[in-house]
């Protein structure tokens, strides 16, 4: 049985993941409007990942016979003054999500909810990758300044299609 305190926190995290989805869509639209298709595609892809994370959490709650509550989310930031601002926001968001994932893992551990703790391990690994990716992207875009072609070339070269992670939790509806 999933610990009620963990289930409540996970329901809250579902909202955080959907908010991250919306924020990444707003970032993608910003880059699309600047005719930066590589950056736009990257952020549209990030948005889909965040949605999938939320749906993984939904599936875990369903699998453990817990009630699922989808919270509402605030509107994302949609106006940016430069090409670097969305990445700065994304890095801060990924660091915040990491802390949320750690808090969920801590709750699972405190509640001796071994299944929940095991479930959270994949998200810890994912957050390490996400923060590293955003750190790298911020460094590259900061160096490139407003050289959109250099940024787009980096994205084309470095952000190639990654394979699906076979260790990922199941996604509700897929």
12-69 pLDDT, tens digit per residue, is 999 999 999 999 999 999 999 999 999 999 999 999 999 999 999 999 999 999 999 9
How many angstroms separate the CA atoms of 29 and 36, rounded? Answer: 10
Q: Nearest 5 degrees, angle CA 23-CA 25-CA 31?
A: 110
Name the strand (E) or helix (H) holding 130.
helix 114-144
Lowest model confidence (mean pLDDT) among 48-52, 123-127, 130-134, 142-146: 142-146
The mean pLDDT of 60-79, rounded to a whole number, is 97
Residue 164 confidence (pLDDT) above 90: no
Average pLDDT over residues 138-145: 95
Longest dimension (CA), the chain: 53
Q: Above 90 in pLDDT, residue 165?
A: no
The sign of the CA dihedral 22, 44, 93, 123 is positive
The rounded distance, in Å, linking the Cα atoms of 140 and 160 is 16
**Residue 161 pLDDT:** 59
Check pLDDT > 80 for residue 162: no
- Residues of the chain with pLDDT > 90, as a percent, come to 89
Q: What is the pLDDT of residue 160?
A: 65
Q: How far apart are the first and last CA of the chain?
A: 24
Per residue in 87-117, pLDDT (tens digit) is 999 999 999 999 999 999 999 999 999 999 9
């Amino acid at each position: 049985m999933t610990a009620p305190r963990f289930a409540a926190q996970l329901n809250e995290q579902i909202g955080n993941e959907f908010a991250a989805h919306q924020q990444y869509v707003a970032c993608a639209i910003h880059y699309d409007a600047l005719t930066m298709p590589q950056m736009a595609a990257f952020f549209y892809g990030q948005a889909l990942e965040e949605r999938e994370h939320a749906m993984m959490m939904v599936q875990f709650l369903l699998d453990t016979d817990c009630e699922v509550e989808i919270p509402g989310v605030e509107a994302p930031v949609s106006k940016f003054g430069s090409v670097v601002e969305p990445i700065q926001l994304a890095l801060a968001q990924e660091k915040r999500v990491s802390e949320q994932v750690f808090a969920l893992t801590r709750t699972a551990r405190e509640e001796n909810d071994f299944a929940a703790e095991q479930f959270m391990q994949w998200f810890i690994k994912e957050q390490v990758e996400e923060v590293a990716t955003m750190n790298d992207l911020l460094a590259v875009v900061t160096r490139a300044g407003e050289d959109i072609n250099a940024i787009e070339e980096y994205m084309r070269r470095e952000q190639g299609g990654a394979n699906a992670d076979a260790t990922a939790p199941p996604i509700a509806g897929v």
